[in-house]
Amino acid sequence: MIYSQTPGVRLRAINPAGGSGVPRAVVVEEGALVHTALMFPEDREGRLQGAGDAGAQAARVLTNMEAALHEARTTLDNLVRLHIYVADASVTPRIDSVLAERFGGAGKMPAVTLVESEMAVAGMLVAMDGIAATGWSTPGGATRLPSAALRSRTAGASHVSIQPPGPFVIVSGRAAPGDFDVAIRDTIAQLRGDLATAGVTLDHVVQIKSFLGDMRRAQRLEELIATAFGGSRVPPQVLTEWRQASAPAEIELIASAGPPADGRPRVEHVEPILGRYSRIARVNGGQPIFMSGLYGESADPVAQVGEMFADLQRVLQAAGSDIRHLVKATYYVSDAGADARINTIRPSIYVPEHAPAASKLFVRGTGRPGKASTFDMIAVTTAR
């Protein structure tokens, strides 16, 4: 179903079998991508709005996201993916209702992934980040834009960035060990090296996503990342909780890329590791596909993993793609058995030299009762 009428934007929804209104995936057939920073239910001065009311907070988050998207000359109506972070699963039904009210049901909603996370601010129940499409694109690499209507958490922060149509690069999460400041700087240095391998630099980055072990250090993490950009406008930043003790944080990147040399494949998976993931995915062609979070149907958390991988392949086929054109996988896991099963099953699903860039995060929950894990995936079409 085609659902955008905005000039320069064409979106195709792969609709659900049920009546939730949330598509299985959204294909961006035309338009540049717009990445937002993490949006909070707060006013311009950073004061929490809608205290104790998850619905009011969700509505405020969407209002703030709309203000950010306005800077890129687009709106929530062109949203293709929405990541939702909830303080606990009890607020999820109210969030679902707000989304249904705002987007109006099947064929008009973005792909949605939901996960539980500790919040960086006391009393906050929900936060979101999104990807939208716009018919406006500036020449060159990433265009990073602030919004005067929103609070800036660090100097030089952007609330949105525009990823122009064409090639892009996704870098898997890096996580250096050690004391906090040193570990974050080392992680950024590793990511800088990954970008160089793909032929791009920090100047091309359109979004930075961090998975943080101690959410009390969220402000410090954003400051350290901002410092790496040396006074330049900083890409939109997203942070969520990571229940892992091996390193302070895991950080991943997405960046725009210049045109590929003639004859290069549609997707290049760089440094494949044990058939589980690749360090980098460089996308040279195809239309981006953003999938809603996958869930298994069984009561057994381990069985759910196999069901999600089977469903993944069905959704890819419906969207005009296949497993070799999967470019990013994020696994949110709250069960140790499911975590181990993901590790063992991936080499049997992925073509070893074509495993996607990935991050796997142990989290407190998926926000959906009985669902121990959820998969968040990006692919590109095999045609065009």
Tokens of 175: 């996580």
How far apart, in whole angstroms, are the C-alpha atoms of residue 9 and residue 16?
22
| pLDDT value at residue 19 | 66
How far apart, in whole angstroms, are the C-alpha atoms of residue 19 and residue 35?
28
- The average confidence (pLDDT) of the chain is 94
Residue 257 pLDDT exceeds 80: yes
| pLDDT value at residue 148 | 96
- CA-based nearest residue to 329, from 359, 351, 306, 350: 359
* Single pTM value for the model: 0.96
| pLDDT value at residue 6 | 84
Spatial neighbors of 181 by CB under 8 A, at least 6 apart, are: 220, 224
How far apart, in whole angstroms, are the C-alpha atoms of residue 236 and residue 149?
15
Residue 5 pLDDT exceeds 80: no
Query: Of all residues in the chain, what percent carry a pLDDT higher than 90?
Result: 88
The structural domains of the chain, ordered by start, are 10-380 (3.30.1330.40)
- CA-based nearest residue to 215, from 65, 78, 363: 363
Q: Which residue has better confidence, 55 or 261?
A: 55
| pLDDT value at residue 223 | 97
φ/ψ region of 271 (left if φ > 0, alpha if ψ in -120 to 50, else beta) reads left
Residue given tokens 């030089």 in the structure block: 156
pLDDT in tens, 148-184: 999 999 999 999 999 998 899 999 999 999 999 999 9
Residue 234 is classified by DSSP as B
pLDDT in tens, 64-104: 999 999 999 999 999 999 999 999 999 999 999 999 999 97
Label residue 23 by pLDDT band (50, 70, 90).
very high
Tokens of 255: 């960046």
Task: Find the farthest-apart pair of alpha carbons in the chain and give their distance in angstroms, rounded.
Answer: 56
